[in-house]
Amino acid sequence: MSLADGLFRPGDSPLHRLRPQVKITALLAFTCAVAATPREAVWAFGVYALLLAGLFALARVPASWVLTRSLVESPFLVLALAFPFMVEGPEVSLGFLTASTTGLWAGWNLLVKATLGVWAALLLSATTPVAGVLAGLSRLRCPEILLQITAFAIRYAHLTVAEVTQMRLARLARCDDPRFLWQAGALARGLGVVFIRSFERGERVWQSMAARGYTGRLPLEVGPAAASARQWTAALSVPLLVAAIAAYTAVIA
């Protein structure tokens, strides 16, 4: 995985072919619908997980990849595990521990919604190239200036990261033995040097852009392509289904 590619997995599935703006909207709608589902509707979350699993299969993303990537949320799982013992409410006994039922529901709520949120976001990042995400955001009227900064950042990030790695290697090659706190000084000085280099590179890039007639906006005539009504319906069918289930369970409860 390189930084410039994000988590993108090249492929040619129906999900890869969907326009990015459609997928971003679908992700947002899906996450909101999941968040709005009452925690007691356990079966609904099962249905959501099955829907996502189906989509992952359609996009040919292996389950092991999804599970490894899901670890990003692990610190919050600690909070989910702590809820049963922190929240006050009627208590139940679990072997040698006593936990409150309200807290158990709260922990479950956090666990399941965070996991579904991460999976949905992984589906987007696995099937959409970085440039596609930016184009989609631009179609969704995200301010151009932020998108341009982002594009530059992604374009040069792998370079700065490589610079940091290179400096570390150079240090190791000169018999530096970085350990725990003793590495902090060298690390920090290296970071300072990388900053100076990045800033100077930024100025050089700007100068060459100015020499080519740059006046503060990129001369892009070609806007990202619009999505057809069929694409919108296809992509929003799953979030709509989820929203319908969320509404149904909320009314029943």
Partner 1 sequence: MSDLALHIPTDVVNGPVSLAFALLAAVLVGVCVVAARRHLDDRLVPLAGLATAFVFAAQMLNFPVAAGVSGHLLGGALAAALLGPWLGALCVTVVVVIQALLFADGAVTALGLNVFNMALVSTFVGYGVLVIALKVLPRTRWGLGAAAFAAAVVSVVAASAGFVLQFWLGGEAVGQSFGAMAAAILGTHVLIGVGEGVITAGAVTAVALARPDLVHALRGTPLARPAALKETA
Query: Which residues in the 207-226 window bind partner 1 by CB under 8 A?
Result: 209-210, 214-216, 218
Task: Kindly state whether residue 96 participates in binding partner 1, applying the rule CB under 8 A.
Answer: no
CA atoms within 13 A on the CB side of 124: 26
Residue of the chain from 64, 74, 177, 211 that contacts partner 1 (CB under 8 A): 74
Instruction: Say which DSSP state 4 is in.
Output: G
Among 27, 52, 227, 246, the residue binding partner 1 under the rule CB under 8 A is 27
Q: Rank residues 166 and 233 by Cβ distance to partner 1 and give the closer one.
A: 166
Read off φ and ψ for residue 70, nearest 5 degrees: -70, -15
Among 47, 140, 150, 234, binds partner 1 (CB under 8 A): 150
User: Of 28 and 58, which CB lies nearer to partner 1 in the complex structure?
Assistant: 28
Q: What is the DSSP string of 174-208?
A: TT----GGGGHHHHHHHHHHHHHHHHHHHHHHHHH
Which class for 44: exposed (0-12), middle (13-18), buried (19 or more C-beta within 10 A)? Answer: buried
CB nearer to partner 1: give 164 or 236.
164
| C-alpha 180 chain-centroid distance | 30
Taking CB under 8 A as the criterion, the residue among 34, 52, 135, 235 binding partner 1 is 34
Positions 116 through 145 that interact with partner 1 (CB under 8 A): 116-118, 121-122, 124-125, 130, 133, 137, 143, 145
